[in-house]
Copies of this chain bind each other. A is one copy, B any other.
């Protein structure tokens, strides 16, 4: 089934602005609490952002869901990754078995993990309540030699991301969404997206991903340079960028972000690949940006550039470079803490505390 672009546009049209008045109410509440104004720094700003997104003075984390989207990448044929491509499918099974880092960190955060196959190069045939089959294809084509996918596949990937979020939202309301991924080779696709949107030479956009060596890094730069030259993506057209150098799971992540914003649900971007999807989502609809929270700054050097382009200040800076949604899960615990302070603290009057002299 192929989705028309008009369906996608219908979702974009449902994305409205966030609520400045609710943000002001939350800021006033923060200033009434028994602490010097502003002394909880980033925690206060997180709550105000979330109040604007949720359109209420006292936002709630609610049900937390990490979506971990998987897809394979034809560009692995260029020798761009430290791991063989079969690891994508193996790690999907590891997510379902609960043995991956994102499982441990999501459990710590009290978040559900929903694993979705958007383009793994194998029939996974997994029966699990946490697994969704959203497969658009069996891995992308090698973007160093031609487009990664057709424009129709790009639209389908985004549309299935929208559907994925909406079906999960229907099953039970979501308060906070985290968005992660697994896909051997996908840091090459993310670097290519950064190079296009940021108008950067490949060597500035690229990093070591899961830990490629110097020779692999050189191959990665070559593959991206070749991909940009051969495909010539239109940097003003997110769907063209996605089709030419993206990935099925990257399109799906952009779709989840769009749908979450349409439902006024905050989205925590994770690392380099997740944030590449955020750049596409924001290009499709700039209003999405106000619903995006940067959970952390990855060790992948291009991630810093992405966050600057998106004007997002990450909550955490823990030298992570794993993906999966691990940084998003960690940041959820900080956001939940910020909400708890906002909800539970006493105010000066009630606690009989003298205010500033």
Residues of A participating in the B interface, judged by any CB pair closer than 8 Å: 33-43, 81-84, 86-87, 90-91, 93-94, 97-101, 103-105, 107-109, 210-211, 299, 315-322, 326, 329-330, 333-334, 336-337, 340-341, 343-346, 350-357
Contact = CB atoms under 8 A, between A and B. Distances in A.
Contact of A99 (B39, B42, B350): B350
Contact of A84 (B33, B343, B357): B357
Given A41-B319, A41-B320, A334 B330 contact: yes
- Chain copies in complex: 2
Nearest to A318: B42
Given A87-B353, A351-B97, A41 B337 contact: no
B315 A318 contact: yes
Contact of A344 (B103, B351, B357): B103
Contacts of A318: 41-43, 315, 334
Contacts of A93: 351-352
B94 A353 contact: yes
A322 B109 CA distance: 24
Nearest to A37: B211
Contacts of A317: 317
B43 A352 contact: no
Contacts of A346: 94, 97, 99-100
